[in-house]
Amino acid sequence: MIELFNVFLMSMLIITALAMVSSRHLFVTVMLSGFFSLLIAAIFLLLDAADVALTEAAVGAGISTVLFLGALALMDVEETVRGEKWIRIFSLFVVAVTTLALVYAAFEQPAFGDPNAPIHQHVAPWYIQHVPIHMDIPNIVTGILGSYRGYDTLGEVFVVFTAGIGVLSILGDPVKNRRQRVVKKAGLRHYLIPRLVGRTLIPFIVLFGLYVQFHGEYSPGGGFQAGAIIAAAIILFAILEGEDQALKIIPMRGLYFLMASGALLYAGVGVATMLMGGRFLEYGVLADTMVAGQQWGILLIEAGVGMTVTGVLLTIFHAFAARSNL
Amino acid sequence: MEPWIPFQYIPLIPLVGVVAILLGARVNDNVREAATLITALMTALAVWGFAPAVMEGQRFSVTLLDEVLPGIPLALQLEPLGAMFAILAGSLWVVNSVYSIGYMRGNKEKNQTRFYVFFAVSIAAALGIAFAGNAFTLFLFYECLTLSTYPLVSHKGDEKTIKSARIYLGVLISTSICLFLPAVIWVHSVSDGAFAAGGILSGVLSGPEVGLLLGLFVFGIGKAAVMPVHRWLPAAMVAPTPVSALLHAVAVVKAGVFSITKVVIYLFGVDFLFAQSTVGWMLYIAAFTIIVSSLVAIQQTNLKRMLAYSTIGQLSYVVLAVSVLTPLAEVGATLHMVAHAFGKITLFFAAGAIYVAAKKTELYQLAGIGRRMPWTAAAFTIGAISMIGVPPTGGFVSKWYILAGAFQSDNFVAIATLIVSTGLTATYFLPVVYSMWFGKEIEGPVANHGEAPMAMVIALTTTAALTLLFFFLHGPVKVMEQQVLLGAL
Amino acid sequence: MNMIDHLPALQVIVPLISAPFCILMRNHMLAWAVAVVASGAAFSLAILSMGFVSDGATLTYAMGGWEAPYGIALEIDAFSALLTVIISGASLLALLAGAASARQQLVDEKQPLFFSAWLLALAGLLGITITADAFNIFVFMEISSLASYVIIAAGPHRKALGAVFKYLVMGTIGATFYLIGVGLIYMMTGTLNLEDIALRLNDVSDQRPIFVAAGFITIGLALKAAVFPLHVWMPNAYNYAPHIVSAFIAACATKVSLYVMMRFDFMVFQPNLVGHEFQFSYFFMPLALIAILSGAVVAALSRDLKRLLAWSSVSQIGYIVLGASLTTEAGLTSAIAHMFNHALAKGGGFLIAMGAALYYTTTRFSNLAGLGKEHPWIAAAFVVIGCSLIGVPGTAGFISKWLLVSAALEQGALGVLIISVVVLSSLLAVVYVWKVVELFYFAPRPEGGSSDVMQVRKPEMLLYMLVLGLVAGANIWFGIMPGEPLALAGQAAQALLGGSL
Amino acid sequence: MVWLDLYHYWVFAILLMIGYFSVIAKRNLVKKLIGLSLFQSAVFLLYITMGKVDGGTAPIIGMTDKTDIFSNPLPQVLILTAIVVGISTTALGLSIVVRIKEAYGSIEEDVIHQKDQVE
């Protein structure tokens, strides 16, 4: 039964993808891509990847859609020009070659779900076995993410950070941009129902975000998802009440600070472990016992991730909004 | 004379001179030129200091850097052939400096400091070539010389000059990169590439490979101006005359033929080449170059261009002598390098003096100039007869040895070439000499002129005297060259 | 633990941590100073670790105290040490020289963001170089790429935007290809540590997915490394970037991708894939030869100094790939040595462009005519650096060319073809370098040229001239005394062919 | 049946192709970015698929009674990172598109190209 549902979702996925690409209306494309993200998140969930599903839903359906819409507000939403014929033929050729390579690779792969596949024999079992011993938390994904591959996650935080300062650098300071343009719209302040519903929802969203943040060791979630959710709450607030209000709550300087301090908190934990005689990000030295140290470390770095992600997403949102009268 | 400085530092003297010239230029022109002269003198003295030791059979060698490239050091050595070239370059630099001062001032050239600086750098590079201890080092300084003479050739900086300088650089760089460099890498990949008496490639290479490698060297060393890579030489005539003198007599072309000689003697080995069947073409190429360049020289109407083609031919005498591959001819090759240097520098000095004093450059304008500039014309005459090879000039001595060498191996091609080319050389020089003394004067750009500035006259009479002296006193050179061959045989 | 043991980690972390500090600086000079200090620290660390590995040792570091393959391992060997020196050195020198140029081209208040992104690019590149984990390479590749997009997009001309977008799209495709390849490998081995992969691939009998993975990884990285014909993003990106960025990125960015590619192909795939050597060789050699020639031809036709230099990079990257495609120790040594030497020459070239633009606003030839008369030292430095690009003996460029030709000589008949291409392109290099030399020295200054458009501060200019002199001097120094980089390159080549990480 | 055993892989391949095609062939910059994120999503699917174990559960200890079989957590960790990288790239790309639109008045590559040529 589950298989059948899976096949259904997969087929929907392909159909949605085709529709996305072929639609000439960019608005439709963007909405479809949000839908696509939800579908693929569902598939991830079926494939036992709860954390990934949550992230994909928050990012793909949420953040990415908002960004695209923010950008589209500035542009023609019609795709007017079709590529020349030779480009299309060339593209088809390149794509065909790649496909052939992938098909060629297919037949000597382990079958789907095969428990004897190499990846289930090496490294991963070690993680499953050792997470309870080393850090005693239920969510193995969090354990790997935060500690065994904590350096990757540090890199990930800095990727996000880079995107934040990148957008700022490319689009310019939102506050200044808003001053230069005449931005009349003050959110949806004059629409009572959305405002009412929205305002009641926002505290719950924030609460949910905090739960995801601090419960990441036990259930799906963690700093990144939490950051995305909290940012979404504030973005919602900005849409309802207007950007200026949102910027009053957390001004740009505060966002800078949030971005930087999140990243610094993460890296700082690493430096602290170094100073305390361990290796970089070796949380074990943070407390008396290995397990306690690991838990402290993961908690702290997840907080850092959450701060940076919230800061960056809000910054990006403001930067786009200041350009596009959203 | 005693060596007063280790030989590997000699190339540094001109470089120190560069600093002195730059500093001197800040004070005034006189100080600057004094710096040039003193540097030149010091250099000459330094190289002369080694002459007695080298003639007694001493050899010096030193490794500057152990491994520039894996297994390849930057090595210098002082052996008779190089010592002779260094002495030639160092001494003529002194004379040339005296002359340059007169020329540059008399002609009111711009950027004189730049001129003296790069002149000194060129000399340093030439000394580096002279002392090169292996093929890699030779190549290194060879390229340095090419680049450091570029600013001299392009000195004037107008469009025509730049075009010619482009040809100069283009031909020299491309031949060296395309042919010389692969040859050098080839040599180093099959041996250690160090110059050694008797050659090092014997037994390493065989058959057509030898011919191919020799070809890469002969055409790759574009400075030797063997046809068809001679194009740069007439192009370089746009340079100021002292530069032409430097190029033709002192540093550049001599560096070319010197490099070929060095490669033949110390890399291949005369005996080894003599036994090869695939190297005979070198003789024919040289003979061809001699004849053709003489024929072209006959058709020239511009004095400096005529001298340029004459140089191409005279250089190939050296290549021809080398490729005869007998001991006497090798001696002749070296003697000719020196004899031609004295003769040709005299001719160029004379041409420059005429240009400065009378602004005349074309052959027909020279008629009767001997009466206004007797010293210059006399020097020109001596240079010309040395080119033809008439006693009592240096040119005769060297031709004599080459001929003798050719007879040693019954090389009739070489003998015939020498005889024919002597006739041709006479054909283009004697009419000029005749009209200088006996022709009826044609009004030139400058109507009433006398001799060129004193410095120039001193310089050109000195070199003319040297040309004559060399007829009598070529002993040391012969001794040195025989030293080389003793090592080789 | 001793601080020295942390060397590999510090190498990445120092610039990484400095980046957030940069944006908190309100003053643009302070931000610049932070970037300089961080780069300087990274450079000193790189020199330090070079000292440790020069006798053939490797420095390893288990991140988080978790041993590989469970944790992420860092590793510095001869090859990576050379790369870290190139990267951090390029960053430091470009920053020092570029203070004036950054002020000319960037708005003051954007500079903290700019320098922060700069440090991230630096940290990303260093991170790629030092890590021994296939996925970690991806993460740091993305840091460096995103940061590079940001600093290139800071270019004042609107064409910079188009160039960056192209770079972003192609770079992301490249990275995703890499990710697909790593995924396939992971599927077949269950591990991400490079050494462990190489080990476990021995036992994998089903070679098809591995073969395809090799293809995806190689092509993905070739895209990032701008290997012909995947170089289309590169000339414009280098050309329209701020001058200070061109000097940095052009010196090191593509080389890092080549480095990763060489590690994968020689250490991971070569020992485990049948016939991989030939495939690698036959795939890249023709491309490299075409790249060498076509890049040089376009460079020779350029009418703008930066464009010329960018296209010359296409050709010079071809040399590196060519050396690698010989798959011999001599060939690899020449490739790795050329990474270093080309960084010197090309970084220096873009420094010249930077200096020229300070005085004449653009680097178009029409503006630069006669530069030699007004700024003789800049012109002189160009002559030296140009000679290095050509490969004149006595300069660094000559060393790599010598090694390449020697390596080609081992190949017999094929070697003759290679040598003739190398020789031909050297001649083209003479053409494009000498075009500029003549322009600098002999062309007359344009009438009423836009001279001195910005006020140049004395200390900034002094710093610029010092760095320029240093780079030009280094081009000569390493042409005469190439011992250290050559030794590292030789070691690296041996390690690559030895098949051990 | 080998073909069917790999059906997730085929879906991955098809999605990859669709995304890849639109990145190369589409001239609209936003469309290119959408294609790019589709392209990346396909790779996410590849990773997550290979981590699935028959009869396994999400790798969270104590969520269900069957504690003995978990799906492979490592690919999930990798993809979490990759998703973040993807959105970062998209955000940066979009900001560049916004600037391009302002500078050129269009987001069609051909139009931009023409305007560059005119200059």
Task: Report pLDDT digits (tens) over D48-69.
Answer: 988 888 877 888 887 665 556 8
Cβ contact C108:C28 at 8 Å = yes
User: What is the arithmetic mean of pLDDT over B241-255?
Assistant: 78
Residues sharing a CB contact under 8 Å with residue C205, sequence separation 6 or more, in sequence order:
none
Identify the closest residue of chain B to C482 by CA–CA distance. B68
CA distance D103 to chain A (A): 12
Residue B79 is which amino acid? Answer: E
Half-sphere exposure of C143 (CA within 13 A, CB side): 33
Nearest to C399 among B69, B144, B169 (CB): B69
User: What is the arithmetic mean of pLDDT over B354-374?
Assistant: 86
Identify the closest residue of chain D to A147 by CA–CA distance. D77
C26 touches chain D (CB under 8 A): no
Higher-pLDDT residue of C357 and B55 is C357
pLDDT in tens, B388-446: 988 888 889 889 889 998 988 888 888 999 999 999 999 999 999 999 898 888 776 66
Q: Residue window 66-85, chain D: list those with CB within 8 Å of chain A.
A: 69-81, 83-85
Nearest to B185 among C405, C480, C486 (CB): C405
CA distance D111 to chain C (A): 12
C2 touches chain A (CB under 8 A): no
Q: Do chains C and A touch (3 or more CB pairs under 8 A)?
A: yes
- pLDDT on residue A325: 53
CA distance A58 to chain D (A): 11
**Average pLDDT over all residues of chain B:** 86
What percent of chain D is modeled with pLDDT above 90? 46
* CB pair distance less than 8 Å for B139 and C393: yes
Q: Which residues of chain A have pLDDT under 50?
A: 326
Cβ contact B222:B171 at 8 Å = yes
Identify the closest residue of chain D to A64 by CA–CA distance. D87
CA distance A186 to chain C (A): 28
Q: Do chains B and D touch (3 or more CB pairs under 8 A)?
A: no
Nearest to A281 among C16, C64, C216 (CB): C64
C180 touches chain D (CB under 8 A): yes
CB pairs under 8 A between C and D: 67
B181 touches chain C (CB under 8 A): yes
- pLDDT on residue A152: 93
Residue of D76, D100, D108 to mutate for A, most A C-beta atoms under 10 A: D76
With H, G, I as helix, E, B as strand and everything else as coil, classify residue C448: coil
User: What is the arithmetic mean of pLDDT over C286-311?
Assistant: 93
Cβ contact C92:C36 at 8 Å = yes
- pLDDT on residue C163: 93
Residues sharing a CB contact under 8 Å with residue A275, sequence separation 6 or more, in sequence order:
none
* CB pair distance less than 8 Å for D90 and A140: no
Q: Can you tell me the distance from the alpha carbon of B1 to that of B190, in angstroms, rounded to the nearest whole number? A: 40
The H or E element spanning position B150 is helix B135-153
Q: How confident is the model at residue C183 (pLDDT cuts 50, 70, 90)?
A: very high
C176 touches chain D (CB under 8 A): yes
* CB pair distance less than 8 Å for A67 and D90: yes
CA D91 vs CA A165, A257, D87: distances in Å: 11, 20, 6
DSSP designation for A147: I
Q: Residue window 70-129, chain A: list those with CB within 8 Å of chain D.
A: 70-72, 74-76, 79-83, 87-88, 90-92, 94-95, 98-99, 102-103, 106-107, 109, 111-115, 117, 119-120, 123-124, 127-128
Which residues in chain C are closer than 8 Å to D23, comparing Cβ atoms? 169, 173
**Residues C374, C380, C386, C387, Cα dihedral to 10°:** 150
CA distance C162 to chain A (A): 13
pLDDT reading at C314 higher than 80 = yes
- pLDDT on residue C500: 46
User: What is the arithmetic mean of pLDDT over C192-212?
Assistant: 87
Q: How confident is the model at residue C221 (pLDDT cuts 50, 70, 90)?
A: very high
Residue of A97, A114, A123 to mutate for C, most C C-beta atoms under 10 A: A123
User: What is the arithmetic mean of pLDDT over C207-213?
Assistant: 88
Identify the closest residue of chain C to D52 by CA–CA distance. C187
Q: Can you tell me the distance from the alpha carbon of C211 to that of A99, in angstroms, rounded to the nearest whole number? A: 14
pLDDT reading at D3 higher than 80 = no
Bridge partner residues of C501 (DSSP)? none
Q: Can you tell me the distance from the alpha carbon of A226 to that of A205, in angstroms, rounded to the nearest whole number? A: 10
Cβ contact B325:B199 at 8 Å = no
Tell me the range of A145-149, A185-189, B68-72, C272-276 where mean pLDDT is highest: A145-149
- pLDDT on residue B489: 42
- pLDDT on residue C460: 86
Cis peptide before B392 (omega within 30 of 0): yes
CA distance A62 to chain C (A): 22
* CB pair distance less than 8 Å for C146 and A152: no
Which residues in chain B are closer than 8 Å to C476, comparing Cβ atoms? none
Q: How confident is the model at residue C269 (pLDDT cuts 50, 70, 90)?
A: confident
User: What is the arithmetic mean of pLDDT over C64-79?
Assistant: 90
Residues sharing a CB contact under 8 Å with residue C64, sequence separation 6 or more, in sequence order:
A147, A148, A150, A151, A279, A280, A281, A282, A283, C71, C72
pLDDT reading at D119 higher than 70 = no
Residues sharing a CB contact under 8 Å with residue C240, sequence separation 6 or more, in sequence order:
C152, C155, C157, C159, C160, C163
Among A203-212, C444-453, C461-470, D105-114, the least confident range = C444-453
Q: Can you tell me the distance from the alpha carbon of C306 to that of C105, in angstroms, rounded to the nearest whole number? A: 15
Which residues in chain D are closer than 8 Å to A162, comparing Cβ atoms? 88
Higher-pLDDT residue of D21 and A110 is D21
DSSP designation for C203: T
3-state secondary structure C338-397: HHHHHHHHHHHHHHHHHHHHHHHCCCEHHHHCCHHHHCHHHHHHHHHHHHHHHCCCCCHH
Cβ contact C230:C223 at 8 Å = yes
With H, G, I as helix, E, B as strand and everything else as coil, classify residue B77: strand
- pLDDT on residue A122: 86
Q: Can you tell me the distance from the alpha carbon of D23 to that of D29, in angstroms, rounded to the nearest whole number? A: 9
Nearest by Cα to B333 from B195, B488, B212: B488
- What is the token pair recorded at B255? 């560096």
- pLDDT on residue C262: 92
Q: Chains that contact B by 3+ CB pairs under 8 Å?
A: C
User: What is the arithmetic mean of pLDDT over B15-25?
Assistant: 90
Q: Residue window 285-314, chain A: list those with CB within 8 Å of chain D.
A: none
Which residues in chain C are closer than 8 Å to D22, comparing Cβ atoms? none
Residue of A120, A305, A312, A314 to mutate for D, most D C-beta atoms under 10 A: A120
- What is the token pair recorded at C447? 């009438």
* Residue whose structure tokens are 């060698």: B61
Rg (alpha carbons) of chain B, rounded to whole number: 21
- What is the token pair recorded at A206? 């924030």
User: What is the arithmetic mean of pLDDT over B443-452?
Assistant: 74
User: What is the arithmetic mean of pLDDT over B167-171?
Assistant: 90
- pLDDT on residue C117: 94
**Residues C21, C22, C24, C26, Cα dihedral to 10°:** 150
- What is the token pair recorded at B66? 């152990």
- pLDDT on residue C370: 85
Cβ contact B361:B445 at 8 Å = no
* CB pair distance less than 8 Å for D92 and C168: yes
Higher-pLDDT residue of B171 and B279 is B171
Among A53-57, B138-142, B355-359, the least confident range = B355-359
DSSP for B334-357 reads: HHHHHHHHHHHHHHHHHHHHHHHH
Q: How confident is the model at residue C12 (pLDDT cuts 50, 70, 90)?
A: very high
Give the other-Cβ count within 10 Å of C280's Cβ.
22
Complex-level ipTM:
0.87
**Average pLDDT over all residues of chain C:** 90
* CB pair distance less than 8 Å for D99 and A170: yes
Residue B448 is which amino acid? Answer: N
Q: How confident is the model at residue D1 (pLDDT cuts 50, 70, 90)?
A: very low
Nearest by Cα to C216 from C255, C265, C168: C265
Among A107-111, B51-55, C202-206, C455-459, the least confident range = C455-459
Nearest to C63 among A119, A168, A280 (CB): A280
* CB pair distance less than 8 Å for D29 and C165: yes
Residues in chain B: 489
User: What is the arithmetic mean of pLDDT over C254-270?
Assistant: 91
C399 touches chain B (CB under 8 A): yes
Residue of C136, C141, C167, C172 to mutate for D, most D C-beta atoms under 10 A: C172
